[in-house]
């Protein structure tokens, strides 16, 4: 009986550790606060949002040139992420690749309606080596 309980405990431990994802930022990637506008960021960066209370957080990003970007949620899956171009709020479920125009301000919206736990939620951006002119969708 002891071996069955030990085996079940081992399976539970393996299952729990496989669910843990390291969401701390890589030290080489710049991290910007959502409270300040991000203007002409590097080719790879993150924006950190404090989601310790329920509601929306907003950040603005403006790129110097038009390019294709990978935008990725890095944190609690219960948090909703949207990118807005003044006329459309586009949800980002996990990750999305979009053509973003230079000299245009985009709003990044993080919505927390599920938890009041103290958490930092990261949104990752990575400029991809894909030609903007021939890429769809542009946003």
Domains of the chain by range and CATH? 25-128 (2.60.120.290)
Q: How far is CA 118 from CA 20, 27, 115, in A?
A: 17, 22, 9
- The whole-number pLDDT of residue 61 equals 98
pLDDT of residue 80: 95
pLDDT value for 22: 43
Answer yes or no: pTM beyond 0.95. Answer: no
Q: What is the pLDDT of residue 119?
A: 81
pLDDT in tens, the chain (139 residues): 555 444 444 444 444 333 334 445 557 899 999 999 999 999 999 999 998 888 999 999 999 999 999 999 998 888 999 999 988 999 999 999 999 999 999 999 999 987 777 689 999 999 999 999 999 999 9
CA-to-CA separations, 135 to 41, 75, 76, in angstroms, rounded? 21, 28, 30
Q: Do 60 and 108 form a contact (C-beta atoms < 8 A)? A: yes
For position 17, what pLDDT does the model report? 37
- For the chain, state the CA radius of gyration: 18
As to burial, measured by CB atoms within 10 angstroms (0-12 exposed, 13-18 middle, 19+ buried), residue 77 is: exposed
């Amino acid at each position: 009986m002891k071996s069955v309980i030990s085996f079940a405990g081992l399976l539970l431990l393996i299952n729990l550790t496989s669910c843990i994802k390291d969401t701390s930022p890589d030290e080489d990637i710049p991290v910007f606060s959502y409270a300040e506008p991000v203007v002409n960021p590097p080719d790879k960066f993150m924006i950190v949002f404090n989601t310790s209370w329920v509601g929306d957080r907003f950040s603005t990003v403006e790129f110097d040139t038009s390019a294709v970007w990978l935008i990725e949620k890095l944190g609690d899956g219960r948090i909703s992420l949207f990118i807005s171009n003044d006329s459309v709020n586009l949800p980002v479920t996990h990750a999305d690749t979009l053509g973003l125009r230079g000299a245009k301000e985009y709003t990044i919206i993080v919505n927390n309606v599920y938890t009041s736990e103290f958490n930092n939620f990261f949104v990752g951006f990575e400029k991809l080596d894909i030609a903007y002119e021939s890429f769809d969708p542009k946003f």
